[in-house]
Each structure stands twice: as C-alpha cells, then as structure tokens.
C-alpha cells in the first residue's frame, strides 16, 4: 500500500526538519491557458492513493499513486493518470459561451467500502453526482448466444453449450454516474461534505444547506436557510460548510461576514438557530472600507482530530478551538503586505478570490495558497512558517524547494521579491495534503504540482 511511511513515525514531523522537493507536475506547459483547463478543485482520497482534480470544463482527472517499487524502496510512487471522465456536460460550447456552467466546484471522496471507489462531484449547474470508479481487468469470453464482437448468433446455429470463462485483459478504469442529485439548489453550490455516518452528506449554496441520503436522489432536507423574506435585505451569504469528522450530528458553516456557526442536527430539523457562533471582534486598528470583504471566509476545514477547525479569510488563516467561540486560538498572516493594497485588489476583483486551506495528516501543519504561485505552510508546533513557489523553474526532479521571501520595506535583499512585482493572475487557490504522508498537491491555474518531503 502506498504511503507506508506514516507521519507519526517520523521524528519531529513538523516543518522544521522537513525539506520539500518537487516530485511531479501535470498539465499543459504553455502559458496560454484555456478557460476549460483551469483547475477548480483538488482532493486526495482517504488513503491518499488517489488524487482527484476537477476543472472548469467539467472534467475529473484521477491520479493513482504507483506502488513503491522494490528497486527504490525509499522512493514514493508517482501519481499517474488513473481515470478521466466528463462529470458535467457544458450547456454551450465552452469556447464560445459566456457561461461556464460545467465547472466542477467540489469533489469529495467517499470512504471506500468495496473494490470500487466513489466520489461526489458538484458543479455550478447546481447538481451533485455520485460517481463509481471501478476497475476491470477481466472480461468474459465464450458466450453462447453472442459472438465475440457482441452480435447475436442465430439461435438455430447453436449446437453446443459452454460456460463462459473470465480472461485477463488490460486494466480498464470505468467511471459511471450512479446517482444524480438535482433540483435542490437555487444558488451556486459552494460546498459538499460527506457525513461520518457514510450515509448522508450535505450540500451548501449561498443561502441554503441541504441534507441528502446517498441512496435517495429525489429528496433532500433543508437544514439551514438564511434567505430573507425580502431579498433586498440580504447582507450575508453562506460561503462554506462541513460536517464534523466524528460527530455525525454536527456541522459548521461560514459566512461572508466572517462568522462560523456550528449546528447540531439533533436540536431541530431546521438548524437556523446555531449551537455555537464563532466570531472574532474586529481589530479597530485595522478597520478600513474593506474590513467586511476581507473578513469573508472562503474555506472552513475541521482538523482530523475534530477538536479544531480552520478558517481562511482573505489575509489570514485562523485556527479555532471548538470550545471557544470568542476568538481563534491561532492566527497566521498569509500575505499581510497586501493590506495596503486592498483598494487595488478590490478594483481588479482579486479581493474576492476564494483561497482554500488544508491540514496535514496529524494536524500539526496547515497550508494555504497565495499569489504569484506562492503557497504557505504554517507549523503550529514549531511556530514557523514558510513560503514556497510552484513554478516550472523549480521542477527538476527531487530538487529541494527554496523558501521565498517577499520584501515589504524599502530595501530589497537579494532573492527577495517585491510586492509590486507579484503576479496576481497566478493564484494558488486549491491545495491538498495527503492524509497519511508528507505529499502535497498544489494547483496553479492549469497545472497540478506534487511535492513530497525528502526521504533521507
């Protein structure tokens, strides 16, 4: 099984002794990015063996990690394409149309129950699909009523009977849609989350959260509804939602005003009344016209332990203890140097970019993306942070990533990058961390980078 080396076995485990190396990059090399190729979601499955990406063209590409080879036991296996399928059909030719309705917004893997893998994908046309990805490496031969090419034989010509046998064939990976959950959302879906009961999942749009059963497609239950009676009074929307990793009755949802509400489904059918509300009071020294916008939470993720949750707003990452609602226990500045540029970022819409964040397997390090193809890691134990860049220039196999520095003051040291030369079109919105190992997947606009820590 891939990923034998567990995080807990490594000394330290934090970023103090970890050296990150380039492993692979997937995607086109040219700079001219087709809109349809823009990666919109990245997700490891529960073992880390599979890595799924979705793009704006509605395609899902799944990579599988090769088993560790016996020749090089110290090397982790590479990720290679395992399956590719079109999850959602575009309504128009995406090269010509103005609407890109087929963009995959989120992919979530289901825990594996049998040989097949299942994942949920959602897209902007407000449907959710359950896909079964199964392998086929045998095929039956020797039918009585059918020729080998599938044509039916004339029954009169059948003179003997035989039992069909299974013969090996080249591995074929099939993806088939097993369920389509539709017609429950009026607004764009921003989140899906599988419950720890493995039977239900939630889907959230701007104003509502619905609860589904994986087996039932024609009915969902609305559990949160913040739509005001008068849409003119709308001032807040839901931005993300997630189930608790262990407690199947608990979920959280974040808002555009920087609040997170924790709800208990046992309390009532409609969870408009929150059980807890997490909100940090505004820092009066940092008040500006853009305070509300930069407080809007773009992602919320529970820790694997279930004790903490992490939120990402425009400038920072915050770690919350579920037992304390008044303020986060940790706050990490992702790119504080942008605070003085908020007006420009508002004008060019960058201030509305939705960055995601993720935990490592043992919740000791968190990661999130930034601009200029930078991504940041924050080690909670060692109180260190580091900035790396995902670029083709650093893509020699196993080359160690060099930490980057951004110069904010007047003097720019060598190798530092000044804030004014940052490329705001190169944004890393989606990152994922292998659940059991130090392997990370980082998506630039249309490329997927895989980095891993250096082994000895």
Partner 1 sequence: MFCKGAKRKLEEDEEGLEGKALEASVAGAGVGVALEGLSKVSYTLQRQTIFNISLMKLYSQRPLGEPSLERRVLINNMLRRIQDELKQEGSLRPLFLPPSPPPDDPMDEGFREAPPSFGILSQPSALLMPAIPPPPSPHPMVLPSCPAPQRLEGCATPLDACLTPASLLEEDGGDSAFCAPSPPTPPLSPPPLAPSSALMSKLSSSVTVLSNDSFSSPPSDMELAPPTAITRTAAANTMTITTSPTPSPFSSPTGSTRDCRTMGAKPEAAAVFLPAHSPASLEDISPSPSSPSSSGFLSDLALDDVLFADIDTSMYDFDPCTTAGAVGATAGGGGHAKLSPVVNADDLLKTLTSNQPFKIDLTELDHIMEVLVGS
Stretch that binds partner 1, among 36-44, 344-352, 394-402, 423-431 (CB under 8 A): 344-352
Residue 444, Cβ neighbours under 10 Å: how many?
Answer: 24
65 contacts 3 by C-beta, under 8 angstroms: yes
Task: Give the count of beta carbons closer than 10 Å to the beta carbon of residue 325.
Answer: 18
Q: What is the DSSP pairing of strand 374-379 with strand 39-44?
A: unpaired
Residue 198: both structure tokens together: 């493995």
Distance (Å, whole) CA 21 – CA 399? 5
Any residues with CB less than 8 A from the CB of 317 and at least 6 apart, and which? 310, 311, 331, 332, 334, 357, 366, 368, 378
To partner 1, the closest distance from the beta carbon of 188 in angstroms equals 7
C-alpha–C-alpha distance, residues 412 and 406, integer Å: 9
Establish if 412 lies at the interface with partner 1 (CB under 8 A): no
Place of tokens 């599979």: 50
| x-or-dash string of contact with partner 1, 242-281, rule CB under 8 A | --------------x-------------------------
Q: Which stretch binds partner 1 (CB under 8 A): 324-332, 345-353, 360-368, 436-444?
A: 345-353
Report the DSSP beta bridge partners of residue 369. 375
Yes or no: say if 369 and 299 are a contact pair by the CB < 8 Å rule.
Answer: no
Alpha-carbon span 300 to 94, nearest angstrom: 30
Nearer to partner 1, 33 or 275 (CB): 33
CB of 7 to partner 1, least distance (A): 35
Residue closer to partner 1 (CB basis): 101 or 242? 101
User: Is residue 336 at the binding interface for partner 1, with CB under 8 A as the rule?
Assistant: no
Footprint (CB under 8 A) of partner 1, residues 24-53 = none
Q: CB of 54 within 8 A of CB of 108?
A: no
- Of the candidates 74, 159, 285, 323, which one interacts with partner 1 according to CB under 8 A? 285
Which two tokens mark 277? Answer: 């509300």
In whole angstroms, the minimum distance from the beta carbon of 291 to partner 1 comes to 9
Instruction: State the minimum distance, in angstroms, from the CB of residue 110 to partner 1.
Output: 28
Distance between first and last Cα of the chain: 20
Residue of the chain from 289, 410, 411, 414 that contacts partner 1 (CB under 8 A): 289
Nearer to partner 1 (CB atom), residue 304 or residue 354? 354
**Rule CB under 8 A: is residue 346 a binding residue for partner 1?**
yes
CA distance 15 to 20: 9
Window 79-118: residues binding partner 1 (CB under 8 A)? 97-101, 103
> Any contact of residue 124 with partner 1 (CB under 8 A)?
yes
Identify which of residues 417 and 419 has a Cβ nearer to partner 1 in the complex. 419
CB distance 350 to 370 below 8 Å:
no
Residue 59 lies near partner 1 (rule: CB under 8 A): no
Nearer to partner 1, 348 or 399 (CB): 348
Query: Does residue 349 bind partner 1 (CB under 8 A)?
Result: yes
Which one of residues 80, 235, 326, 408 is an interface residue with partner 1 (CB under 8 A)?
235
> Least CB distance from residue 229 to partner 1, whole Å?
10
Q: What residues have CB less than 8 Å from 257, skipping those under 6 apart?
A: 235, 236, 292, 295, 296
Binding status of residue 154 toward partner 1 by CB under 8 A: no
Q: What residues are paired with 59 via a beta bridge?
A: 86
What count of residues does the chain have? Answer: 456
For residue 363, give Cα distances in angstroms to 95, 275, 289.
41, 25, 35
Q: Does 425 bind partner 1 (CB under 8 A)?
A: no
- Minimum CB separation from partner 1 for residue 404, in Å? 23
Count of residues that bind partner 1 according to CB under 8 A:
40
Among 59, 132, 213, 227, binds partner 1 (CB under 8 A): 227
Closest CB to partner 1 among residues 50, 422? 422
Q: Which secondary structure element, helix H or strand E, spans residue 294, and what is its range?
A: helix 291-295
3-class secondary-structure state, position 23: strand
Binder among 68, 236, 279, 330 for partner 1 (CB under 8 A): 236
Which spans of this chain sit near partner 1 (rule: CB under 8 A)? 97-101, 103, 124, 186-188, 206-207, 227, 230-237, 239, 256, 284-285, 287-289, 292-293, 296, 340-344, 346-347, 349, 352
């Amino acid at each position: 099984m891939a990923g034998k080396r567990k995080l807990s076995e490594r000394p330290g485990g934090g970023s103090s002794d970890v050296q990150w190396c380039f492993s692979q990059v997937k995607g086109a090399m040219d700079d001219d990015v087709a809109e349809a190729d823009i990666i919109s979601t990245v997700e490891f499955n529960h073992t880390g063996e599979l890595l799924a990406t979705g793009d704006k063209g509605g395609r899902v590409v799944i990579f599988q990690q090769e088993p560790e080879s016996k020749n090089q036991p110290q090397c982790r296996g590479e990720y290679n394409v395992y399956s590719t399928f079109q999850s959602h059909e575009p309504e128009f030719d995406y090269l010509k149309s103005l609407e890109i309705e087929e963009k995959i917004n989120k992919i979530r893997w289901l825990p594996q129950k049998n040989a097949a893998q299942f994942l949920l994908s959602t897209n902007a046309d407000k449907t959710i699909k359950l896909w079964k990805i199964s392998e086929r490496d045998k095929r039956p031969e020797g039918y009585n009523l059918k020729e080998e090419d599938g044509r039916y034989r004339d029954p009169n010509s059948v003179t003997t009977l035989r039992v069909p046998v299974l013969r090996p064939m080249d591995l074929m990976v099939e993806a088939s849609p097993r369920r389509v959950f539709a017609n429950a959302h009026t607004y764009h879906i921003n989140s899906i989350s599988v419950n720890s009961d493995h039977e239900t999942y939630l889907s959230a749009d701007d104003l509502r959260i619905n609860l589904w059963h994986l087996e039932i497609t024609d009915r969902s239950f609305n559990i949160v509804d913040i739509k005001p009676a008068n849409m003119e009074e709308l001032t807040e929307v839901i931005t993300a939602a997630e189930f608790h990793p262990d407690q199947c009755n608990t979920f959280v949802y974040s808002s555009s005003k920087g609040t997170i509400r924790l709800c208990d489904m046992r309390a009532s059918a409609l969870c408009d009344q929150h059980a807890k509300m997490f909100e940090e009071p505004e820092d009066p020294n940092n008040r500006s016209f853009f305070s509300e916008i930069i407080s809007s939470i773009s992602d919320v993720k529970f820790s694997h332990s279930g004790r903490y949750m992490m939120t990402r707003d425009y400038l920072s990452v915050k770690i919350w203890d579920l037992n304390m609602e008044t303020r986060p226990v940790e706050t990490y500045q992702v790119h504080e140097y942008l605070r003085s540029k908020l007006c420009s970022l508002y004008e060019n819409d960058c201030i509305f970019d939705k960055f995601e964040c993720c935990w490592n397997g043992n919740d000791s390090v968190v990661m999130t993306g930034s601009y200029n193809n930078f991504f940041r890691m924050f080690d909670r134990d060692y109180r260190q942070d580091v900035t790396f860049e995902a670029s083709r220039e650093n893509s020699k196999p196993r080359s160690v990533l060099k930490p980057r520095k951004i110069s904010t003051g007047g003097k720019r040291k060598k190798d530092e990058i000044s804030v004014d030369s940052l490329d705001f079109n190169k944004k890393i919105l989606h990152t994922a961390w292998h659940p059991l190992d130090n392997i990370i997947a980082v998506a630039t606009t249309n490329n997927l980078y895989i980095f891993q820590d250096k082994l000895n």
